Chain A
Amino acid sequence: MQQDIHKKRFLLFARWFFYTLLLIFAWVLHTNQSLCSMGGIRPLWLAALCLTVAAYENSFPSAIFGIFAGLLWDASAGTLSGFHAGCMLIGCFLISGIIQLWLRRTFFNAAALSLVWLILVTGVEFLFSYVLFNIPQRGVYFWGTVIPTVVYTVAVSTLLYPICGLISRLGREE
């Protein structure tokens, strides 16, 4: 019995260790300027990863994971420290809760929720950075850069979804 508990804890630690390795990998891809670039548009790997993890894990650990991903995102974007961390905390918590309570755990549901949340977050950032200051040609930037980035981000989660699925099964199979 005690052996089972130790084994479960070890597998739980292993699961989150692999998630952390994925997070570091995603951080490198997120900030690298030439990898995965299509016409100057690059995906938000950190957001894609933490929102995909939220689809598989419980709300509390997903939210904590989202905080770390958000802090790294703040560091790369040069935005106010804590903004993306707070957004990812709330986003991961909500996505995890919605999938646990109402929706089935499928890639389509996870991608749809991620898309909605990312549009919300980037929209708020766009509102406070461009609309309020009446920056010219902000529409071109929003439709030409922000939306394609969000769509590309959801697209790369097709790679992350099965990987996170494999990791999430650690410690859950009898």
Chain B
Amino acid sequence: MKNFFSSGKCKVLIYLLVLLAGFMAYAFANGRWSAAPQQLLTSALVPFQKLGRMVSTGLDDLKDRTVAIDDVLAENEALKQELFKLRNEMIDYDDMKAENQLYRDYYKIQETYNEYEVVSAFVIGRDPLERYYSFTIDRGQTDGISVDDVVVSPEGIVGVVSQVGFNYAEVLTILDPSVSMGCMISRTRDIGLSEGENTLCAGGQLKMSYLPKETLTAAGDLVVTTGLGGVFPSGLIVGTVADVLPETSGKSMYAVLDSAADISSITSVFVITDQGEAAAVDAPSADNTADISDSTQLPGAPGTEQNETQSQDAGTTDGLQNGETAPEEENKAE
């Protein structure tokens, strides 16, 4: 061992250490975290991660069938009762659907994901120390995925692609403080900025700032993206309001949001690879159509001459904020 420091092997280790420092400097200078050799190594090991995911899924299923069978049966019973309740509510569905269609035509709202090209992906890796639940998926450049593609689940928005390899991609979740989105309270139309918060991320929550001081936002309100900023398309569900609190300055309010998607344990996602014509439109599109029908800010009933005039200007109105109606359009129509 004592002769080791004068041997060639010691020099090799020192050279390797300098090389690794060079990798770090190169990656940092290029604004990335990873260098090409690491990407190649990771790409080669993705099939093993997929195998590991299959094994863990199988073990989870086995656990559900044996250890957690009582919980599964109780959940099944609860779901059956919920299904019965929902079937009864279906009776009012047709009326609401017709009304909703009229409001959709009025605001020119597109159905979620109709114009998007999406790629499905599985979550194949997470680091144990990752605080914001960022993860790796089994799709990459060969599947058409690129950096800044939005990642969603059936429940709502999950995050954005931060790095892409040949057959894998790294996803930053919306709980990460470096990811911010323009959002809107679906009911009150208040607009704010949502981003991760270190004190909230452990509970799957994020913070929506810059709400007006006199906001009418309340717990339970749905939050959707506005599309402003160019990354996140409009109308994606972010989550629901858990609480509304004043900022320390006292000049505005902020809301604590429960993310719609269960980000900490999600196992499959969709990546929007092409937002089509719906990319970053200013007029927000809401998925919860009941919120539109419950809104008090609509300038008039759909189908009237007044409404036809206003619908032409809907794209330039930039949404209705803070309970304000559009008196100028109403006056013009009259």
Contact = CB atoms under 8 A, between A and B. Distances in A.
A136 B33 contact: no
A60 B12 contact: yes
Given A27-B45, A82-B23, A32 B1 contact: no
A33 B33 contact: no
A41 interface: yes
B21 A33 contact: no
Interface stretch (A6-14, A73-81, A106-114, A164-172): A73-81
B41 A135 contact: no
Most buried by A among B45, B129, B135: B129
A74 B38 contact: yes
Interface residues of A, number: 50
Contact of A59 (B1, B27, B55, B56): B1
Contacts of B37: 71
Interface string A1-32: 00000000000000000000000100111111
Interface string B23-50: 1100110000111011101100100110
B124 A31 contact: yes
Given A67-B20, A71-B41, A82-B24, A33 B265 contact: yes
B48 A28 contact: yes
B326 to A, nearest CB: 42
B259 to A, nearest CB: 16
Most buried by A among B17, B41, B52: B52
A144 to B, nearest CB: 9
Contact of B1 (A81, A101, A145): A101
Interface in A122-174: 122, 135-138, 141, 145-146, 149
A64 B51 CA distance: 26
B199 A75 contact: no
A24 B34 CA distance: 20
Task: State the main secondary structure of chain B at its contact with A.
Answer: helix
Interface string B240-276: 0000000000000000000000001101000000000
Nearest to B12: A60
Interface string A65-99: 00110011011111111110110011001000100
Given A31-B124, A31-B126, A83 B48 contact: no
Contact of A97 (B1, B42, B127, B198): B1
A51 interface: no
A8 to B, nearest CB: 19
Given A79-B33, A81-B35, A31 B51 contact: no
Given A33-B123, A74-B34, A76-B127, A24 B45 contact: yes
A29 B52 contact: yes
Contacts of A43: 128
B35 A82 contact: yes
Most buried by B among A32, A71, A137: A32
19 contacts: A27-B48, A28-B52, A31-B124, A33-B125, A35-B55, A59-B1, A59-B4, A67-B20, A72-B45, A75-B39, A78-B34, A80-B28, A81-B35, A82-B21, A86-B17, A86-B24, A89-B16, A90-B17, A138-B198
Interface of A: 24, 27-35, 40-44, 59-60, 63-64, 67-68, 71-72, 74-83, 85-86, 89-90, 93, 97, 100-101, 122, 135-138, 141, 145-146, 149
Given A32-B52, A34-B60, 9 more contacts: A31-B136, A44-B129, A71-B41, A76-B125, A81-B34, A82-B35, A85-B20, A85-B23, A86-B24
